[in-house]
Amino acid sequence: MPDFTLLPEQASTFAEKMDPLFYVMVLLSLFFIVLVFTLVIFFAVRYRRGSKASRRGASSHNVKLEIVWTAIPLILGLVVFFWSAKLFGYVRTVPEDAVEIFVIGKQWMWHMQHPNGVRENNELHVPAGRPIKLVMISQDVIHDLYVPAFRIHQDVLPGKYTYAWFEATKTGKYRIYCGQYCGTQHSEMTGFVYVMEPAEYQAWLASGGDKTRMTQLTMDEAGQQIYDRLQCGSCHGFAPARAPSLIDLYGTKAKLVDGRTVTVDETYIRESIVAPDLKIVEGYQAIMPSYKNQLSEDQLLQLIAFIKSLRSGMQAPIPKKEADSPAGGAR
């Protein structure tokens, strides 16, 4: 096995950073294993009953020695800890310019959606050399997205978005596993990541992912359709504001009636749609109905994409609160 390595193929920037730490830890472990095994075997043979080795001066305590062999593992352990914490910071801090792709886990499949609306199941096409952020949620039980070649593993929870990011370093086909036991067909909840050259990826996206494009709409366009159909604008769109404006909302801090402040992220927006009574923004009443059973996780993600796309200055798809039209007007 000439090219056998302990770790699988290395295909992400995180893999390149993690593997040296791993191999250093292997060397340190080997050192201690060899040390302990050698001493145990050596003492067992040399000091076997009846052997002539001198037992003079055997002592049964030595505080200095105890301090030394407490301190050395502790210091080495802390060095490894700091190194690993630094890398963990790297793998948990999503770069600003990452491309967002949405992942839904359900028993027992992975469902992915690209921002331009292209969808795929159990496959994920991504460009090499670009940071990719996965925004993930489960429709039922807890799942977990695992790509060994990227060394990433992240639980996928129901009711809450979790994130993972990676930057693939070389093109190829890599396995995706579900890494958290999720029921009967857990072991078949697998798939592949296809890492492509950026130009190739653009072509793939433009062609609607070869086959699976089900809608001509991008995610935020699809979200806007839902927004219109459900008449969200009847409250969020008007001047005598019964509800907060959604423009520029994403990423801000919302002050709640109970005094708490929350950051407006995907999980907060989702919760505000499916369980609006849980967090009421200061100055408003708990009048919003829950859309819990009317929207799939898919549609929720599209609505979120739409809300994230609402920026002041853009050609407003919904009227702004202040500059708004006469009551009942707008769309």
Long-range contacts, stretch 285-288, CB < 8 angstroms, 24+ apart: 285/242, 287/235, 287/242, 287/243, 288/235, 288/243
Q: Does 111 bind ligand HEM (CB under 6 A)?
A: yes
Q: Does 83 bind another protein (CB under 8 A)?
A: yes
Q: Does 160 bind another protein (CB under 8 A)?
A: yes
Nearer to ligand HEM, 47 or 181 (CB): 181
Among 118, 135, 145, 195, binds ligand HEM (CB under 6 A): 145
Q: Could you give the string, one character per residue 138-157, with x where binding to another protein holds by CB under 8 A and - elsewhere?
A: --xxx-x-x-xx-xxxxx-x
Nearer to ligand HEM, 90 or 177 (CB): 177
Nearer to another protein, 66 or 197 (CB): 66
Contacts of 99 (CB under 8 A, 6+ apart): 115, 126, 127, 130, 131, 132, 133
- Interface with another protein: number of residues (CB under 8 A): 82
Q: Does 121 bind ligand HEM (CB under 6 A)?
A: yes
Angle formed at CA 20 by CA 17 and CA 22, multiple of 5 degrees: 105
Site for ligand HEM in 175-194 (CB under 6 A): 178, 180-189
The rounded distance, in Å, linking the Cα atoms of 331 and 224 is 12
| Side chain identity at residue 108, one-letter code | W
Q: Does 325 bind another protein (CB under 8 A)?
A: no
Site for ligand HEM in 303-322 (CB under 6 A): none
Span near ligand HEM by CB under 6 A; candidates 66-74, 101-109, 231-239, 284-292: 101-109
Query: CB–CB of 276/223 below 8 Å?
Result: no
Give the residues across from 240 on adjacent strands.
Answer: none
Q: What is the C-alpha R_g of the chain?
A: 28
DSSP 3-state of 252:
coil
Nearer to another protein, 52 or 253 (CB): 52
Conformation bin of residue 44: beta by default, left when phi > 0, alpha when psi is -120 to 50: alpha
- Interface with ligand HEM: number of residues (CB under 6 A): 30
Site for another protein in 186-225 (CB under 8 A): 186-188
Sign of the C-alpha dihedral computed for residues 309, 310, 313 and 316 taken in this order: positive
Q: Does 85 bind another protein (CB under 8 A)?
A: yes
Q: Does 289 bind another protein (CB under 8 A)?
A: no
215 contact choice in ligand HEM, another protein, none (CB below 5 to 8 Å, kind-dependent): none
Q: Does 294 bind another protein (CB under 8 A)?
A: no
Backbone angles phi, psi at 283, to 5 degrees: 95, 0
- Could you tell me the CA-to-CA distances from 19 to 24, 79, 83, 193, 319 in Å, in that order? 9, 16, 12, 20, 52
List of residues contacting ligand HEM (CB under 6 A): 103-111, 121-122, 138, 141-145, 155-156, 178, 180-189
